Amino acid sequence: MFTGEGSTKKKIKIEEDDREKLERSSSNVDAILEDVIKGFEDKGNKNNTFTFGYGKLFYLFNNADRNRIMVRFSGFEASEASKAVLKLRGGLANNNREATHLVMPTLMRTPKLLCCLPFVKFILSPQWLNDSLEHGEFLDEQPYVLKDSDLERKMNFNMVKLLELPQRDQLFKNKTFYVTPSVVPCRSVLRDVIENSGGKVVSQLKNTKTILELNQKEENSFIVISCTVDFHLLSDVIKHKISKLFLLIPFYI
């Protein structure tokens, strides 16, 4: 039986991805989550309409298996839970875009949560899989939806309403980001978060002229994410105030 309840007795073991243990900064992920939540809500309230592209994303939402439950896990050791999904004829999502359901013990600030927010329909307790396995089929999700959590109260949002907003994968559409080397969480984690929400990350800082041209075409279309350690890399950006700058202060737990 897999309950995910070990979080109340010992430090939760983060599965699948070691970087979620080694490179996560709680304060910075909090800040990113707050911006992502606000961005989703702003998009939804403005009733913006976005257009899906062709290719893989179009295929994922329009093939014969579009109604198949595809599960992703975060916050607990999920080997037994994975077996349950397969036994119930569901699928294990190979990436965040494929996921329809995220299973975790409680709502908590992990990069996996941030990356799955643009795509999943439900965020559920592991008990959903326990009970489904007993019944031999996937049960209705509603009784197992994670809600009214400490995270929601702290960040002042409603996860159920957030997941009802349309086109969440386009939050950073037409926005380009440069992430400096010393930022925590690391660049690879932030790249996943940004790209899963429709943005683009460049490996080299563009020159002043190019940044000015981009931001003249559309406000805040080029954004820099940095920390105090890397300020020496941003002298022109800071001097001329040519790009929106998000500052992440390293904080280790």
What is the SS3 assignment for 115? helix
Burial of 9 (0-12, 13-18, 19+ CB in 10 A): exposed
**CB-CB contact of 86 with 73 (8 Å):** no
Per-residue pLDDT at 159 exceeds 70:
yes
Q: What average pLDDT does the segment 32-36 reach?
A: 66
Which residue in the block uniquely carries the two structure tokens 């409603």? 158
Mean of the pLDDT values across residues 217-233? 90
- Specify the residue for token string 């690879």: 188
pLDDT tens for residues 110-152?
A: 889 999 999 999 999 999 999 999 999 999 999 999 998 998 9
Q: Name the DSSP class of 242.
A: -
pLDDT tier for residue 217 given thresholds of 50, 70 and 90: confident
Predicted pLDDT at 15: 45
Predicted confidence band of residue 155 (pLDDT cuts 50, 70, 90): confident
251 vs 88: CA distance, rounded Å: 41
What pLDDT was estimated at residue 245? Answer: 74
Average pLDDT, the chain: 80
pLDDT of residue 132: 97
Examine the pLDDT at 237 and tell me if it is beyond 90: no
At residue 244, the pLDDT reads 72
Structural domains of the chain, with CATH = 5-162 (3.40.50.10190), 172-247 (3.40.50.10190)
Mean pLDDT of 41-66: 47
Backbone angles phi, psi at 202, to 5 degrees: -105, 150
Q: How far apart are CA 48 and CA 68, in angstroms?
A: 28
pLDDT-derived band at 19 (thresholds 50, 70, 90) equals very low
Determine the average pLDDT of the residues in 180-197. Answer: 91
For residue 165, pLDDT over 70 is answered with yes
pTM of the full predicted structure? 0.71
pLDDT at 22: 43
Contact (Cβ atoms closer than 8 angstroms) between residue 177 and residue 223: yes
Residue labelled with tokens 């996921």 = 99
What's the rounded Cα separation, in Å, for the pair 238 and 228? 12
- Among 26-35, 72-81, 90-99, 140-149, the minimum mean pLDDT is found in 26-35
The closest alpha carbon to 192, from 102, 82, 93, 117, belongs to 117
52 against 43, higher pLDDT: 43
Q: Name residue 168's beta-bridge partners.
A: none
- The crossing angle, in degrees rounded to 10, of helices 26-45 and 187-196 is 10
